[in-house]
Amino acid sequence: MKNFASMQPSDIREMIRRNELVRPTAGMASGFAQANLAILKKEDAFDFLLFAQRNPKSCPILDVTEPGSPIPQMMAPNGDIRTDIPKYRIYKHGELTEEVTDITSYWEDDMVGFLIGCSFTFEHALLNNGISVRHIEEDCNVPMYMTNIPCAKAGKFHGMTVASMRPIPQKDVVRATQVTSRFPAVHGAPIHIGNPAALGIKDIARPDFGDAVTIKDGEVPVFWACGVTPQAVAMATKPALMITHAPGHMFITDVRDEKLGVM
């Protein structure tokens, strides 16, 4: 098997474009930021951009394509959001209708693509600081929960914040907060430390999305705003057409994780 971790982002995108790599992208092009994707028609794009601007912790925008252009100029000038993601989901009026590996045939002249920060970047930063990430250890998806924290509304878009949870040893909680604070472009600092009930979460062992993970004695559940929020909110408003990446199948950018650090 190729060592995808050491490959350049553009080489991996090229393989994905040729449908030679239909699989989750975690671990590929190590050190480069990966991004969530949401594509909407221009008529919804202003409200969605405004929603993201008002909810920067759950919806940190990395790039927005010009209406009709599939090229993310800031994050990957030779990329193409129609082909460079391994698997897409097509939603019509809020319903998932198809999963496809290429959306060229769905592309229209008034579409706008949003690349949104992904927690892979801050997870690398945690690992680099010697703080392990449980769902990576347990080789499953991060547990995610609907919270009682409302997002700031914008036009038709409104809803509750979705949070991801990582159990952190008590001694590392301060460091984990500091490390992730450096990366506001990928969700940034935690939104809550310690008490699931304070977020309206009834059973930490039953996440709303993703997989449950082990919380060991002496570990504290720490919650971060999650990139599933904008998709969940957009779904709830049932736009005529919305296209996203399939979970875990991200857009690999040309921008190094560390370049997204504020200091």
Q: Which positions lie near a second copy, rule CB under 8 A?
A: 42, 45-46, 49-50, 53-54, 61, 64, 66-67, 73-74, 152, 154-155, 178, 181-182, 184, 188, 262-263
Q: Which of 89, 112, 93 is nearest to 101 (CA)?
A: 89
Crossing angle of helices 228-236 and 42-54, in 10° steps, is 130
Residue with smaller CB distance to a second copy, 44 or 172? 44
Q: How far is the CB of 254 from a second copy (least distance, A)?
A: 15
Residue with smaller CB distance to a second copy, 27 or 150? 150
Q: How far is the CB of 17 from a second copy (least distance, A)?
A: 25
Residue with smaller CB distance to a second copy, 170 or 178? 178
Residue with smaller CB distance to a second copy, 21 or 45? 45
CA dihedral defined by 208, 151, 121, 79, rounded to 10 degrees? 100
Q: How far is the CB of 89 from a second copy (least distance, A)?
A: 25
Is residue 147 within 8 Å of 202, Cβ to Cβ? no
Phi-psi sector, 231: left (phi>0), alpha (psi -120 to 50), beta: alpha
Q: How far is the CB of 178 from a second copy (least distance, A)?
A: 8
Torsion sign (Cα): 234, 236, 239, 241 = positive
Q: Which of 137, 135, 163, 167 is nearest to 150 (CA)?
A: 163
